[in-house]
Amino acid sequence: MRPSILRRLLRRVASTAVLGVVAATLSTVGAAQPAAAAGGLQQVTGFGTNPGNLQMYEYAPADLPAGAPLVIALHGCTQTANDYYTNSGWPKYADLWKFAVVFPQTTSANNSLSCFGWFDPAEDTRGKGEAASIVQMVEHAKQQYGSDGRRVYVTGLSAGGGMTADLLAAYPDVFAGGSVASGLPAQCATSQAAASGCQTGPQKLTPAQWGDKVRAGYPGYTGPWPRVAIWQGTSDYTVYPANATALRDQWTDVWGIGQTPSSTDTLPGNTTRSVYNDASGKPAVETYSISGMGHGLPVSPGSGTDRCGSTAAYFLNSICSSYYTGVFWGLDQGAPGGGENPLPAPSGLTVTGVTGTSASLSWGAVTGASSYAVYRNGTEVGRPTSTAFTDAGLSAGTAYRYTVAAVDGSGAVGTVSAAVTATTTGGTGGGACYTATNYAQVAAGRAHTTGGYVYANGSEQNMGLYNVFVTHTLRESPAGYFVIADTGCTA
């Protein structure tokens, strides 16, 4: 028997150890079998030599222009490409923002639970197995749609998230960004036996050691690294939240930046976003911690721009992760920076004032700009022609994240600025401000620690590492409820 065939048989026998908790909670393992493609989702054959024995499905809007981005979306164990197409929300943004989506599919022929082989070096490393098949799909789609090779992104859930991290490490020259939902750090496990241990508690490695696993994926690579979003529920007992911390450590180290966030803010669905900027002030790594969410992909059904997806097994109603991931990658901005000659990012974005219901901003002028697009938490909220803007109708005692981009006379949006956070004043039943180190805030009972990080009591905003080197101002409003208020709050 050929070694490759023997290996696949062994994987089928042993695969119940891999994300087995997922399978145990399903009503039927039959969901792992390939489903008929939904309307608009098309299967592609003959995309390459396909060493990983995968199936390729794709979706693209009918009016897709040449030079558009390309997104690769990887399902979780027991799921299919059709499940991910139907429930994840990605087709909505493909239509809205104009890009193509490829949905690779593995089946029980590879793994009895239809898991991607994120734990198998014969499947998840450069030039081998499933990873090589996925890159062949990328090349096929680029030729078919004329996609922009500079804007290819990969995202995945659970085992698909683990494979996403491995692909980013093995092919940083192919993928400009990635998004890992309830997934594992790159090369966390290199054997079937080690897979379950990664899920419940990855190795206790330093950021540099985690980063070395990425750097070993493509030795000698010196180009730009992918920008990485990390999604994790705090009540995930299938892939424990420690994996999100390891992913954060891994990719911030690869980028050469620290593990203390540049900013934090609160999003819908009890979500705390922590942003880690690169040397130029642009987000390189973002973590999204969803309080109380279990194992799955965050979705938020609805008709609004920032609402997406359908609830189903492992598609959990909390926040539309596909929307925020797409904004993080810049898919909502069209071509990189808005065109072949993008306007530069405005400099000096500053919070000039806050009230209980508003935040005022100012920034430096950009030559050639006819207006400016202002974004609150990734959603456009205004297009002033001046270099100042006041955002009204806000909630008291709440942190908001703002960016701004210049818009030229044709309507093309330029490069987005670095973010600033504004926290509105007021609220009911309190309002006192406290400035102290994270250690002191915990000691005073205004915050608590989990997994080495500090979270504000009440709002659960991530304040960074539990130490005496990170300082924040907390506003108490109402009594016993604290929000980060580093601007607009005097202790």
Active site residues: 158
Residue 376's beta-bridge partner residues?
A: 379, 402
Phi and psi of 321, rounded to 5°?
-65, -30
* Under 8 Å between Cβ of 133 and 123: no
DSSP state of 264: E
Beta-sheet pairing, 100-105 with 70-74: parallel
150 C-beta neighbours (distance < 10 Å), count: 11
How far apart CA 215 and CA 170 sit, in angstroms, is 9
The DSSP annotation for 346-386 comes to PS--EEEEE-SS-EEEE----TT-SEEEEEETTEEEE--SS
Q: Which long-range contacts (CB under 8 A, 24 or more apart) does 128-131 make?
A: 128/51, 129/51, 129/52, 130/52, 130/53, 130/54, 130/104, 130/106, 130/163, 131/52, 131/163, 131/166, 131/167, 131/170, 131/171
279 C-beta neighbours (distance < 10 Å), count: 9
* Under 8 Å between Cβ of 383 and 365: no
* Under 8 Å between Cβ of 280 and 415: no
Residue 400's beta-bridge partner residues?
A: 422
3-class DSSP state for residue 84? helix
Q: Which two tokens stand for residue 311?
A: 């609830």
475: nearest Cα among 429, 433, 437, 422: 433
* Terminal C-alpha separation, the chain: 73
CA 328 to chain centre: 8
Cα atoms in the 13 Å half-sphere on the side-chain side of 348: 8
How far apart CA 100 and CA 346 sit, in angstroms, is 30
158: nearest Cα among 103, 218, 213, 199: 199
Break the chain down into helix, strand, coil percent, rounded to 5.
25, 25, 45
The DSSP annotation for 422-471 comes to EE----SS--EEEEEEHHHHHHTTSEEEETTEEEETBT--EEEESSSS-E
